Structure 1
Amino acid sequence: MGETGYLYKKLHEDFIDGHNGTTMSEVSTIAAVSVIAVLLRDSVMIALSLQTLQVRSKFFLDFVCIILPLILGPTMFSEHLFIFVTSLVCLIILSIFMSLAKKTEGRNEKYTRSGVFDIDMSEKRPFINYFRAILNVQTAVVILAVDFTIFPRRYVKTETYGTGSMDVGVGCFIIGNAIVSPEARGKYKDRRFFSDKVLIIENMIKSSIPLIVLGLLRVLFVKSADYQEHVSEYGVHWNFFLTLAAVKIISTVILCILPVTTSSILSVVITVLYQYALCRCGLSQYILNGSDGQGTRYGILDANREGLFSCIGYTALYFAGVQLGQYLFIKRTKLHEWLKFLSSLVAMCMLSLCLLWFLSNAVEPVSRRLCNAAYIVWMELKYWPNQIYQPAFYQL
C-alpha cells in the first residue's frame, strides 16, 4: 500500500474510532423509530383499507412508512429527533381514529366493556418477526450511513465505555437468535439419552457453519485488501459472525447438560461471575490494555481478547433471551392474556432500568467492548420495549 492509501486508511479508522456515544435516552428514541414505523404502516393499512394491496403497492407503502423513517431519523432529523418522532406518533393516532370511525359507523356496539377483554386473539406473534426484520434493515442502513458525515459521530460504536446507537447491534442479534432458538420454543424436550444430546450439538454446529464461513471470509478479505479495521472492537482476527457462532454453540452445549428451565439462573450466575472477574481479578484491564499494559497484542489470545472474552457476557445475554423466548411462546388466546403479558413486560422494563442505573453508577459503566453486566442489562432493556407492540386494535 502506498503512502496515500495508508493515509486514507488511517483517516478512515480515526473517523470511526475513539467515540464515547450519546445518552441512553437518545439511543432509546432512535430505537423507538422502528417500532413507531411499523405501527404507522399497520395503522395506515387499516385506516385506508389497504390489506388487499398488490405486492408492489405494499412494497411502496413499506418503503414510505418503514424504510424512510429508519433512514431519516438518525441522519437528516438527528438534531430534531423528538419533533420527528412526535410527528410520526401524531400520524399513527390520526390513522387509528380513522379506522375506529370506519368500524363503528353504521353498526351497533359489538362488545360490552367486559367482553372486550375476552376477544379471541391470534396465536401468532408478529412482533417477533417485526423485530428481527427491522433489526436487519436498520443494521444495513446504519452500516452504510456510518461512513458519511450526515451520520452523527455520537451514534457510532463507542471505543470503551458509553452508549452509542450502533452498540446495540450485536446484543440485539444475540437476543433475536435466542428467543427463537429450539430451546426457547421447547423443541428439545426429549433429550434424555446421550445420543440425543450429541445429535442436538451436531445439528447446532452444522447450522452455525454459515456464520463461521462468513467470519473466516471476512477475515480473509479484510486482511488481503488491507481494509481499515476497528481492532479494539473484537480483536485482530475475531469478528461479529464468529461471536454469534461461538455463543450459539456454547449455549447449546451447556443447555444439553443443564435443563432449559435454568436459563435465567445461568444468565444471572454467568453475569455476576464475569463482572466479578472484570472488576476484581483484573480482567477488565487485561482486555483493555493487553498483557503488557500497553495495548500490544502477542499471540492469538492477546490479539483477540475483546472478542473471545466478550463471548462470556454474550452467552449470559443469550441465556436471558432463551428465558424470555420461553415466556413469549406461552399460549395466549384472549386479549386480557396479552394485556397481562404487556404489564409484565412494563414491570420488567422498570426493574431493568433501576438495575441498569445501579450497575452503571456503582459497579462499571456500560461497555459493549467488555460486554459487562451493565451492557447485558441494557440490551435486555432495549429488547423488551420492542415486544410491547401487539396489534390488538386489529381485533376491535
Structure 2
Amino acid sequence: MINKLEIFLIVLLTHPTNIVISVYNINNVFMQFLLLVFLPYLCIINSGIHKYSHIILLLASMFKKRPKEKYETKGKEYEIVRGIVIILVTIAIFACDFSNFPMRHLKTKFYGMSLMDLGVGSFLFNNGLFISRRKRFSILKSSFILFLLGVIRLMVIVCLRYSVDETEYGYHLNFYFVLSLVYLLYLIFNTKYSLILCGIILMTYQGLLSNGLNEFVFYAKRETFFEKNREGILMIFPSYCILVFSEYLGKIILQTQSNHQTIYKMLLYVLSFFYMFSLCNEKIEISRRLSNSSFVIFIVLFHAIHVVFIKLTAMFCYLPCEFVIFCGRNMMVIFLWSNLLVLLANIFFNLKGFSEEESIISNFVYLSLSFLGPYYFYYKGFKKIKNS
C-alpha cells in the first residue's frame, strides 16, 4: 500500500505553489519567481521551511494590490496546472544531483511513491488535458519532433558516456521516445470507445503483472533489446491511458456550460477516480517502475484535484500571474532548456561534492536561468522584435 506520509509530503510540497498561483496577484516578476519557484525549492530540500512559507504567503496576501478588473479565466486552469508541473519538475531534476536533496523524494526502484515519481505522469496528464483541440497533423508533428529529441538525447548519452538510471526507461529509451510513441497510439486508437479501451488495457496489463511480469521487470537480466528497455516499452500503454483519462477531464473543462455544472462534473470525475484508487490501493501496491493500475489512477487523481482546486478558486478570485501563464504555455521549452543546463552542470562540476550553501546558490542560479532567462528573452527580446 502507498505510504500515506509520502502522499502527504507530495501534496504539501505543491501546496504553497497552488496557493500563490491561484490567489495572489504579485505584479513584480522577480517576486513571482521567488515565491513560485525558489520558495518551493527551499521547501523540498528542507521540510521545516513549510511553516515559514505559509507566513510568507500570508504577508504577501496582506501587502499585495488587488486587481481592479477581472479577466477571462476559462481555460487558464490548464496553463496554471502546467505551470505547477514544470516548476516542480525543473526544481527536482537539478536539485536531486546534490547531496542535500532528501532521499525520500528520489524515484523509487520498486514500490511506493515519491515526488520525482510524479514527473512523467505529470507531463502525460498535462499533454492530454486539451489534446482533443489539436489537429491530427499537429499531434503527428509533435510525435516526430519528440522522436528526434529522443534520438539526440540517446546520441549525447552514448557519445559522452553519460550515466543513466536504467530503471527509469531502460538503456536506449527515454522520456521523449515514450511520449512520441504515446502520441502515435493516441492517433491510432482515438475513438469514442477510448475510455473502454483504456479499462481493458489496464485490467489486462495488471493481470500480466500479477502473473509474473512484475518479477521480470524488477529482476530480469538486460541482454536483449526488450530486456534492456523493458521499463520504457511496458509503460507505453499505461501512459496512453493517462493521456486519455486526462483528455476526458479536458473535455469537461472545454464544454460551454455554467461554472456550477462544470464543477459538478469535475467533482464527480475526481470522486470516481478516488473510489477506483481506494479499491486498487488495497490490493495493488503502487509502482512507478511497473506503471501499474494504482500508479495510473493516482497520477490522474492527483492532478485532477489540482485542476478542481484552481477551478474553484477561479470562481472567487481572478487568476493572475503572467509569469505562471508563460511557464505553462512554454512548458516544453523550459523543460528542454533546463535539461541542457543540468547536462552541462553535470559534465563540468562534481555536484555531489558541493556544500549545502554552494548547492543552494547553484540552484538559485540554475532556476533563474531556467525561468527568468526564457521569460525575459521572450518579453524583452523576441516579443519586442516581433512587434516592431
Identify the TM-score tier after normalising by the shorter chain.
0.7 to 0.9
Which residue of 1 is the match for residue 310 of structure 2?
389
1:371 aligns with 2:291: yes
1:276 aligns with 2:201: no
Which residue of 1 is the match for residue 357 of structure 2?
none
How far the C-alpha of 1:355 sits from its partner, in A, is: 2.7
How far apart, in 2, do the equivalents of 1:343 and 1:89 lie?
A: 27
1:70 aligns with 2:70: no
Which residue of 1 is the match for residue 116 of structure 2?
166
1:56-75, Cα deviation, whole Å (9 max, x unpaired):
x2x11211221122211111
On the 8 A contact 2:252/2:265 being kept in 1, the answer is no
Query: Helix, strand or coil for the counterpart of 1:370?
Result: coil
How far apart, in 2, do the equivalents of 1:203 and 1:64 lie?
A: 35
Which residue of 1 is the match for residue 341 of structure 2?
none
1:37-78, Cα deviation, whole Å (9 max, x unpaired):
243255342xxxx6xx4xxx2x11211221122211111x22
How far the C-alpha of 1:31 sits from its partner, in A, is: 4.0
Which residue of 1 is the match for residue 216 of structure 2?
286
1:93-134, Cα deviation, whole Å (9 max, x unpaired):
67668899x89xxxxxxxxxxxxxxxx994612221011122
- Rate the CA distance shift 1:302–1:309 in 2: closer, same or farther, 3 A: same
TM-score by length of 1: 0.71
Which residue of 2 is the match for residue 264 of structure 1?
195
Letter in 2 for 1:285: E
On the 8 A contact 1:37/1:88 being kept in 2, the answer is no
Which residue of 1 is the match for residue 129 of structure 2?
179
1:113-162, Cα deviation, whole Å (9 max, x unpaired):
xxxxxxx9946122210111221121111111001122101100011211
TM-score by length of 2: 0.72
1:351 aligns with 2:275: yes
On the 8 A contact 1:171/1:314 being kept in 2, the answer is yes
On the 8 A contact 1:179/1:321 being kept in 2, the answer is yes
Aligned residues: 314
How far apart, in 2, do the equivalents of 1:278 and 1:125 lie?
A: 38
Which residue of 1 is the match for residue 174 of structure 2?
239
How far apart, in 2, do the equivalents of 1:272 and 1:145 lie?
A: 36
Which residue of 2 is the match for residue 151 of structure 1?
101
Give matches, 1:79-90, under 5 Å: 80=48, 84=50, 87-89=52-54
How far the C-alpha of 1:223 sits from its partner, in A, is: 1.2
- Rate the CA distance shift 1:31–1:209 in 2: closer, same or farther, 3 A: farther
How far apart, in 2, do the equivalents of 1:380 and 1:179 lie?
A: 11
Letter in 1 for 2:305: P
Correspondence for 2:225 among 300, 307, 311: 300
How far the C-alpha of 1:25 sits from its partner, in A, is: 3.9
How far apart, in 2, do the equivalents of 1:44 and 1:209 lie?
A: 39
Per mean C-alpha deviation after superposition, the further-off stretch among 304-313 and 316-325 is 316-325
On the 8 A contact 2:23/2:317 being kept in 1, the answer is no
Report which of the two has the higher share of helix.
2
- Rate the CA distance shift 1:301–1:386 in 2: closer, same or farther, 3 A: same
Which residue of 1 is the match for residue 80 of structure 2?
130
Give matches, 1:87-236, under 5 Å: 87-89=52-54, 122=72, 124-181=74-131, 183=132, 185=133, 200=136, 203-236=138-171
Q: Which has the larger radius of gyration?
A: 1
- C-alpha RMSD of matched pairs (Å): 3.0
Which residue of 1 is the match for residue 3 of structure 2?
23
Q: Which has the higher contact order (CA 8 A, sep 6+)?
A: 2
On the 8 A contact 2:252/2:266 being kept in 1, the answer is no
- Rate the CA distance shift 1:378–1:43 in 2: closer, same or farther, 3 A: closer
How far apart, in 2, do the equivalents of 1:43 and 1:123 lie?
A: 13
Query: Helix, strand or coil for the counterpart of 1:394?
Result: coil
Query: Helix, strand or coil for the counterpart of 1:393?
Result: coil
Give matches, 1:325-364, under 5 Å: 325-334=250-259, 336-341=260-265, 343-344=267-268, 347-348=271-272, 350-358=274-282, 362=283, 364=284
Which residue of 2 is the match for residue 114 of structure 1?
none
On the 8 A contact 2:124/2:239 being kept in 1, the answer is yes
1:380 aligns with 2:309: no
Counting aligned pairs with the same residue, the percent is 23
Structure 2 residues without counterparts, runs of 5 or longer: 319-388
How far the C-alpha of 1:286 sits from its partner, in A, is: 2.1
How far the C-alpha of 1:245 sits from its partner, in A, is: 0.7
Query: Helix, strand or coil for the counterpart of 1:368?
Result: coil
- Rate the CA distance shift 1:149–1:25 in 2: closer, same or farther, 3 A: same
Structure 1 residues without counterparts, runs of 5 or longer: 1-21, 104-119, 189-199
- Rate the CA distance shift 1:96–1:349 in 2: closer, same or farther, 3 A: farther
How far apart, in 1, do the equivalents of 2:21 and 2:243 lie?
A: 31
On the 8 A contact 2:81/2:306 being kept in 1, the answer is yes
